[in-house]
Structure 1
Amino acid sequence: MGRRSDHTRIELEELFVAEGRRQLAETGLARFSAREVAKRVGYSIGTLYNVFGSYDGLMLALNARTLALWAQHLRDRLAAAGDDRIRALVCGYFEFARDNPKAWIAIYEHHMADGGPAPESYQALAADLMSVAAGEVARELPEAAAEAVLALTRSLVATVHGHCAFALYRTFSMLGETAPADAALARVRETLEAAKTRDR
């Protein structure tokens, strides 16, 4: 019998998220079990769904926590970056994925059961993460319009993300690339330099 009144709703949410993140880091999304999360916390699956509404609700809470931690990691990395902030940003991207591989991948593997978009609050966290990168692109391209900065940032993030995913899945090892973070950084620098030349 699961406990029913030991914790407030807010406390329950934090317990489930903490255990869910621990389990996700251990199993990955493919073997992740909401029922096992509830069991390990000591509550019924019904209590978990009362808190989050559904399996999707739980996964959104877990991925939202990952996004928030990721954005903070990048901000911390930039705060200690010195002059080469672009290197700090790219390396910070790779570091977070390397240190949290299964939680990081779960952000991209999970899709809403109804095929619809994630709630606005979740999208805001993703936008906040993007804004960290966009801020650094804007520093490099002070004359560029905000829309152009955001469009370029999306492409640069996609470039870094692809390198990072290939590194995590060891695809680069098969292709002979031994320094994927350095390769991603080189592509970012090349693109920024090309954009600066166009703006002159």
Structure 2
Amino acid sequence: MGRRSDHSREELEELILAEGHGLLAETGYARFSAREVAKRIGYSIGTIYNVFGSLDALLLAINSRTFVLWAAWLREKLAVAGDDRIAALVAGYFDFAERNPNLWMAIYDHRQPPGTEMPEGYRRLRSGLTGIVEAEIAHVLPQDRRGEAPALARSLVALVHGHCEFALNGTFALLGEQDPQAAALARVREALAAGGATGAAVGRA
């Protein structure tokens, strides 16, 4: 039985997002169902589409929420990181993915329909994560090379992501890699050293 008059549109949006996020964490992308979200909140499937417009839009909103939580997770790690903030950043990336595998993988499993632009609000939410990485990389680069931080950050995120994905899907185990996180950190340190970073960022006192 629907409860169409129980919540405002804003309350409905938050209710759907919260329950959808929980369901995605539980089931993963392949088994996610808007109908199951509707069932769990006691509304019709039509209510979800009235609020979000489509399943793609709902997943985009849910995945954007994951980015916000991920950024908060990294900030917490960095707050107690000590001098070696690059190691804390890599560890935070791995830790979040390992603790939230379904949410983390859903970010990359979901594809927007061709030709669809991501709404600016969601783009800003997601940029919080890359902004953290860019700031940390800029901080360890020489002053005259800090303009390279955004491009280097993108490459290093891709590097760490690949190591993390191979760790979670078992590929590294098949390849005989015993410590994917340490391997990712070593490659990051090498790239930063090539960019002129010194000290704790490259593993040196």
**When the two structures are superposed, what TM-score results if normalisation uses the length of structure 1?**
0.94
**Cα drift, residue 125 of structure 1:** 2.1
Residue in 2 that maps onto 1:169: 169
Alpha-carbon distance between aligned partners in 2 of 1:116 and 1:60, rounded to the nearest angstrom: 11
Gaps of 5+ in 1: none
Residue in 1 that maps onto 2:48: 48
Instruction: Report the identity percentage.
Output: 61
Residue in 2 that maps onto 1:65: 65
Alpha-carbon distance between aligned partners in 2 of 1:38 and 1:147, rounded to the nearest angstrom: 47
**1:103-128: per-residue Cα shift (whole Å, max 9, x none)?**
11111111113442321211222222
Amino acid at match of 1:185: L
The answer to whether residue 116 in structure 2 is matched with residue 143 in structure 1 is: no
Deviates more, 1:113-122 or 1:69-78: 113-122
Map 1:29-178; keep pairs closer than 5 Å.
29-178=29-178
Amino acid at match of 2:101: P
**Cα drift, residue 54 of structure 1:** 1.2
Aligned CA distance change for structure 1 residues 170 and 68 (closer, same or farther; 3 Å):
same
Residue in 1 that maps onto 2:201: none
**When the two structures are superposed, what TM-score results if normalisation uses the length of structure 2?**
0.92
Aligned CA distance change for structure 1 residues 141 and 32 (closer, same or farther; 3 Å):
same
**Cα drift, residue 142 of structure 1:** 3.6
Does structure 1 retain, via aligned residues, the 8 Å contact 2:134–2:149? yes
Does structure 2 retain, via aligned residues, the 8 Å contact 1:70–1:96? yes
**1:151-189: per-residue Cα shift (whole Å, max 9, x none)?**
111111110000001011111010111111110000001
Map 1:184-199; keep pairs closer than 5 Å.
184-196=184-196
**Cα drift, residue 45 of structure 1:** 0.7
Amino acid at match of 2:85: R
Q: Secondary structure at the match of 1:177?
A: coil
Residue in 1 that maps onto 2:6: 6
Give the alignment's Cα RMSD to 1 decimal.
Answer: 1.3
Aligned CA distance change for structure 1 residues 31 and 144 (closer, same or farther; 3 Å):
farther
Gaps of 5+ in 2: 198-205
Q: How many residues align?
A: 197
The answer to whether residue 20 in structure 2 is matched with residue 20 in structure 1 is: yes
Does structure 1 retain, via aligned residues, the 8 Å contact 2:73–2:92? yes
**Cα drift, residue 64 of structure 1:** 0.9
Does structure 1 retain, via aligned residues, the 8 Å contact 2:73–2:96? yes
Alpha-carbon distance between aligned partners in 2 of 1:10 and 1:162, rounded to the nearest angstrom: 37
Alpha-carbon distance between aligned partners in 1 of 2:183 and 2:79, rounded to the nearest angstrom: 23
The list of structure 1 runs, each at least 4 consecutive aligned residues, that deviate by more than 3 angstroms after superposition, is 144-147
Aligned CA distance change for structure 1 residues 161 and 142 (closer, same or farther; 3 Å):
same
